[in-house]
Structure 1
Amino acid sequence: MAPVITRAVRAISAVPFLFLTAWSFGAMDLDKMASHTQPFADSGVIEWDGGKVDIIDHFHNVDILDQLWRGGMATFSTSTFGYDSVSSWQVFSFLIDLGPIYAIWILESYRRVNAWTPIYLPTIFTVAAQLFGIGPVSGVFYFLYITFGPTPSELARSTQSRSIWNKGSIHLILIILLLHTSEIFAMFLAPDFATRHYWTWAWQLTPLWIGVANVLFDQTLRLLGLRRLLSISLAPLLIILGFISSSVWLFTLSSSPYPLTTLFIPDAEEQFEFITHTRRALQADELGVVVSSLLWLVYSFFDLYIAGLVGWEWLVYAASLGVATLCLGPGTAISVGWYLRERALVSAKK
């Protein structure tokens, strides 16, 4: 465990992540979102020009959960039902990109030097993201990671202490594809609005079920002695999730009638209408998590340099993140950056 002074210095250096959290949270303005969606929640109907869907009353059959996300059905309806065309393109790409981010957060919890730190329980953060937005929550997550995660001196120790406990398992890919990616496709591409509405409800607790399913599968495979047999390298896991993210990103670039700035950069001015504020909030949510994740990778590359595990190529890695984001999409850029970091950690001889 690093000295308190070292942790304090790292916390100060990580303050930009808290600024990103504050900006994203302020731009989303959850109170305004709640006031916009309350009439839909009260009436039990989501209605727009050209369509109407009744909100499912007892999806979870747990009153606090059914009430908690009732208004959220209206929030996501602007994109999943497509009556805000800009949001429809942006949010589909945004939510698909969460798959690689979920995987990376879970994989980071396997790292021995992260044991019993705040990063050890990523499901707490992914569930909180469903309530407060992953943009604000990711800033807090990465702030805590920089503060309590491995320092350069800890990274410079043995490979065993700095690498992931076990390699990626087949079940983690399947869990994310089944419980997250497939649900996002159903939310946006199902042929009727009622089905899209159903899967929007289902997705609200998906981060919790991903965490629970991963732990249950992991422990079952351990008891059966199959975990090592079904382990794979990290590359296929990230390639599969990155391929899906890039496919959606390239489809968006080639088919969307809107420029990237319109799709992904929130309006600087405060919005007061339901549709325009919802669009701005979800754009700020995505921008918050993407910028935080890329910035965390830059910090991580610099830590590798300080630890002597990489040379000046860390600058090339950092600079390539922006290019990869534009060409392949945020989800793939984050996956590639994280994989480069992991390769540097594993291949270093110290």
Structure 2
Amino acid sequence: MAEKTGFQVIIAGGGVAGLLLANALERGGIDYVLLERRSEVAPHAGASICMIPNGCRILDQLGLYEPFLETTVPVKWMYDRDNKGYPLAPRSDFTRLGFARTGYELSFGDRQALLQVMLDGIRDKSKILMNKRLVGVTHSADGVTVKCEDGTAYNGDILVGADGVHSKTREALWDLAAKEYPDKVQKDRKAMTAEYQCLFGICSKVDGMEIGDGEYGYDHDRSSLVVVSKGGRTYYFIFQKMSQIYHGADIPHYSREEVEEFARVHFDMKIRPNVTFEAIWNNTLASNLVVLEEATFEVWNHGRIACVGDSIHKMTPHVGYGGNTAIESAAALASAIKKMADEAHGGIHPTESRIQECFASYQNKRKERTDNLVKISADVARLQSLQQYSHRIFVRYAIPHLGDYLANLQADMVVGAAGISFLPIPRRSVTVTMPLNPTQGDGLKESKLKRAALALPFLLLFWLAKNLMDPAPLIPWATSVLKTRTLHWSDTPLPITFYHLRWLDDLLGPLVVFFSPALYGIDSVSQQAFLFLVDYGVILAIWLIESTRRANTFTPSQLPLIFTLASQFLGVGVISPLYYLLHYAFIPIENFKASDMRLTRIAYTKSVLPAVILAYYIPVYASFLWPSFAGRVSWNFLWQLFPLWVSLLASKICFRLFPDTTEADRVSNVYRDLPVIRTTVGILAAHSAAAWLYTSSKVGFSVGAIWDLMLPPTHSPQGAKDLITFAGEFLRFDSAFLFGNTFLWLGYLFWDIKHAGMLEMGWGRILGYAAAAVVVLGPGAAVGMGFLWREELLATRRHWAAITEERAREWNRKLGFEWEEKKVN
């Protein structure tokens, strides 16, 4: 039996996770031995591997990224295709976006090539032992002993199982843990299932396929992934749902004859319209047919034994997470082991309790994240094989509009990825638009339900506004006016038609009657209405800008038309708290982890100012300034549907006058829209301030009169005895609720920013500035200024936990490494 000298790690398995751990431990000066059951570490089995940024960064820390990159080329374009090979959506360059965000590109290569690069990275090859099939594990309070099939035995302080999906180490771990956690172990023993099988392989260049292209194929009960890499070398996966779900030991294995038969069955599969799988198969260099096990386990470690990689979290390969997740877990475990080993001085070995603490910290850091990745992979597998009717609907109608959904999915995985804590942070990983952040990403996302609960005050404001601003009293007055076409304060007939569509004129008529006192020029209502509508235009522009922000994709904020139309009939003071509640609940600060997520669609953003001026402000001014009362009423009829006109006009201007450069901006110019937003909101805020000062001057800058413009009366407008009183009081409530809601919303957004460490200013100063802006420049201008301030903070500040270049530089120097001054391309 071998003698144990110093702290030693035994690694069972020489696959991706095992070799990564070996490289990391060697760099950390930790003794280890790696036992591999096969006769060679890097056999040619036809397997490929997809490398994405989280795995690439760890390879980069070890100096292995560049050697692997030489064996492959990045994926340039990804396609989603139907069962006839036709695109379901425009091709995606999400890998280019991923490179801008992370400094690393997605690439496919031979798994053998990666294993060889990892093996070459090991300086002391004597630590890598072949033909060492594990047959037994003895665990004691002093250490662990591994017995191999060839009769040899190895002693160590800890055993790490990196021996794959059929892990012997995991079996030993379960046997050991069953005494303490029988229920968990029993559950784990039944956890592994297999519902899909996969023919994977490598072939030479196929006519009709381009280097750098990746193809996802969708079909009923089957799907495909084909990627063309360096020199036309092509990696393919043909997935098939099996007739039953297999469990544990029942999972089948396949003969070569079954491989051939499986391939022939799928010869008709269309990879592209002019390329079938048969053409790929005819060029095949190596292939294999396997079942795709899926599992998440509860018990990752016990005593002196822990597992890593596929032995403890197994996922389907549909999104390429498996190998990278194994790399990440190995890096996290290496970091935990290094920390523990550094605490032991003078040859003192860590106690078993300290080892358990080490393993627990590793599992706690990784489990929730890996469980989520297993689920994502499973969901994609079932989506691509169209297992449910909802999948077919999604593929047909949603995929064409997903945009950067896949890139954002990858961003969630990458941003919070583990690294090797005792090795320097590569410069290329921080001179990017999405710095790493250990507090964000998969498994760490802020709960939308929690955010909705925090935003419940908006629901209270909605209820309060709805009850105080009941428009019911307007109905009898409006009915009488529309029937007689007369107002008791004017002899001029009230026009009751404008669109010459009876249902539409009848629908809008009561709204026009409501505004008739203001249109007639009755000061008590006219001043209030004019100032309110001028200020409202600032908020309208903000809602339109928010609707096109990349961080707000697939959220209710993309639908300002619905909120503004509803506001015309119920009052914007009633509807706005619903908009703000949904905005806050669905859009946490983590949505802005990448700088391009703050970006808005530049063509649309440029169209906001002219659309709001033409379709909102011109009708507003004409409604108050047109020479004749009948003309003012007609303009108000036009204004009532401003949500439609602004929306249509913005779209027309957007598509006709301004080029859409979003595709390029999100990669190379993430601040391109900032001058446009500043100009748009700045001009409208200045206009609002001018209206405030003008109106204030008309009331002699009287504090009481100004307060009357800002604050609602002490009683509900429902008690008003005439239309003039009702309109004036309703508008004051509408204005107060709108701006109260909006300032509260901005408060929530600034709370997010402060919590993220992006603003250090105290609440006293923030609220003081806001109050001063409201009093001096009016609420509309104050809202615009607050929104622009937030925009600048989102564009120029980073989350407190983001690993920026400055923080990485300091971290590396603490570790004793010189900073790499030149950015690596």
TM-score (norm. length: structure 1): 0.90
Instruction: Pick closer, same or farther for the CA change 1:82–1:163 going to 2, 3 Å.
Output: same
| 2:720 maps to 1:272 | yes
Letter of the 1:154 counterpart: N
- Aligned residues of 1:27 and 1:280 also touching (Cα < 8 A): no
The 2-side partners of 1:95 and 1:240 are apart by: 16
Counterpart of 1:240 in structure 2 is 683
Counterpart of 1:100 in structure 2 is 538
Q: Which runs of 5+ in 1 are unaligned?
A: none
The 2-side partners of 1:164 and 1:223 are apart by: 14
Counterpart of 2:735 in structure 1 is 286
Counterpart of 2:597 in structure 1 is 161
| 2:603 maps to 1:193 | no
Q: CA deviation at 1:226?
A: 11
Q: CA deviation at 1:219?
A: 2.7
Higher mean C-alpha deviation, range 211-220 or range 45-54? 45-54
- Aligned residues of 1:55 and 1:73 also touching (Cα < 8 A): no
The 2-side partners of 1:224 and 1:297 are apart by: 29
- Aligned residues of 1:73 and 1:200 also touching (Cα < 8 A): yes
The 1-side partners of 2:763 and 2:638 are apart by: 41
Letter of the 1:335 counterpart: G
> Match of 2:486, SS?
strand
Letter of the 1:47 counterpart: L
Counterpart of 2:520 in structure 1 is 81
Higher mean C-alpha deviation, range 337-346 or range 231-240? 231-240
Of residues 67, 83, 99, the one that matches 2:506 is: 67
Instruction: Pick closer, same or farther for the CA change 1:40–1:50 going to 2, 3 Å.
Output: closer
Of residues 25, 41, 46, the one that matches 2:486 is: 46
Letter of the 2:492 counterpart: K
Counterpart of 1:323 in structure 2 is 772
- Aligned residues of 1:28 and 1:280 also touching (Cα < 8 A): no
| 2:126 maps to 1:126 | no
- Aligned residues of 1:89 and 1:256 also touching (Cα < 8 A): no
> Match of 2:794, SS?
helix
- Aligned residues of 1:167 and 1:233 also touching (Cα < 8 A): no
- Aligned residues of 1:168 and 1:237 also touching (Cα < 8 A): no
Cα deviations by residue, 1:257-315 (Å, 9 ceiling, x for unpaired): 67123333222224231221221111111111111111111110110111222223565
Higher mean C-alpha deviation, range 219-228 or range 166-175? 219-228
Cα deviations by residue, 1:224-263 (Å, 9 ceiling, x for unpaired): 87998x9653221122111211111101111126712333
| 2:781 maps to 1:332 | yes
Instruction: Pick closer, same or farther for the CA change 1:226–1:307 going to 2, 3 Å.
Output: closer
The 2-side partners of 1:241 and 1:4 are apart by: 36
Counterpart of 2:320 in structure 1 is none
Cα deviations by residue, 1:43-88 (Å, 9 ceiling, x for unpaired): 2x1323344233232x1232221111111121101111123x2111
Letter of the 1:16 counterpart: P
Counterpart of 1:210 in structure 2 is 646
Instruction: Pick closer, same or farther for the CA change 1:318–1:115 going to 2, 3 Å.
Output: farther
The 2-side partners of 1:123 and 1:336 are apart by: 24
The 2-side partners of 1:298 and 1:226 are apart by: 30
> Match of 1:269, SS?
coil
Higher mean C-alpha deviation, range 72-81 or range 213-222? 213-222
Larger strand share, 1 or 2: 2
| 2:425 maps to 1:15 | no
Cα deviations by residue, 1:121-165 (Å, 9 ceiling, x for unpaired): 11111111111111111111001111112x13333x121123434
Counterpart of 1:30 in structure 2 is 471
The 2-side partners of 1:210 and 1:335 are apart by: 19
- Aligned residues of 2:452 and 2:581 also touching (Cα < 8 A): yes
Higher mean C-alpha deviation, range 256-265 or range 203-212? 256-265
The 2-side partners of 1:91 and 1:259 are apart by: 15
The 2-side partners of 1:54 and 1:262 are apart by: 29
- Aligned residues of 1:152 and 1:306 also touching (Cα < 8 A): no
Highest relative contact order (Cα 8 Å, sep 6+), 1 or 2?
1
| 2:753 maps to 1:312 | no
The 2-side partners of 1:292 and 1:213 are apart by: 28
- Aligned residues of 2:458 and 2:741 also touching (Cα < 8 A): yes
- Aligned residues of 2:746 and 2:786 also touching (Cα < 8 A): yes
The 2-side partners of 1:339 and 1:204 are apart by: 28
Higher mean C-alpha deviation, range 272-281 or range 131-140? 272-281
1:213-228 equivalences under 5 Å are: 213-221=649-657
Q: CA deviation at 1:42?
A: 2.0
Letter of the 1:272 counterpart: A
- Aligned residues of 2:545 and 2:608 also touching (Cα < 8 A): no
Instruction: Pick closer, same or farther for the CA change 1:226–1:117 going to 2, 3 Å.
Output: closer
The 2-side partners of 1:179 and 1:282 are apart by: 21
Q: CA deviation at 1:167?
A: 7.6
Q: Which runs of 5+ in 2 are unaligned?
A: 1-411, 413-441, 666-671, 803-825
- Percent identical residues: 28
Counterpart of 2:618 in structure 1 is 182
Cα deviations by residue, 1:204-231 (Å, 9 ceiling, x for unpaired): 0111110122123223346687998x96
TM-score (norm. length: structure 2): 0.40
Letter of the 1:338 counterpart: F
Letter of the 2:653 counterpart: F
Counterpart of 2:609 in structure 1 is 173
The 1-side partners of 2:604 and 2:762 are apart by: 26
Letter of the 2:720 counterpart: F
**How many residue pairs end up in the alignment?**
344
Letter of the 1:251 counterpart: Y
Instruction: Pick closer, same or farther for the CA change 1:162–1:238 going to 2, 3 Å.
Output: closer
Letter of the 1:116 counterpart: F
> Match of 2:713, SS?
coil
Larger helix share, 1 or 2: 1
Cα deviations by residue, 1:296-341 (Å, 9 ceiling, x for unpaired): 1111011011122222356533432222111111111110000000
The 2-side partners of 1:235 and 1:75 are apart by: 35
- Aligned residues of 1:153 and 1:307 also touching (Cα < 8 A): no
Letter of the 2:460 counterpart: F
Letter of the 1:240 counterpart: I
Counterpart of 2:321 in structure 1 is none
Letter of the 2:489 counterpart: D
Greater Rg by CA = 2
> Match of 2:447, SS?
helix
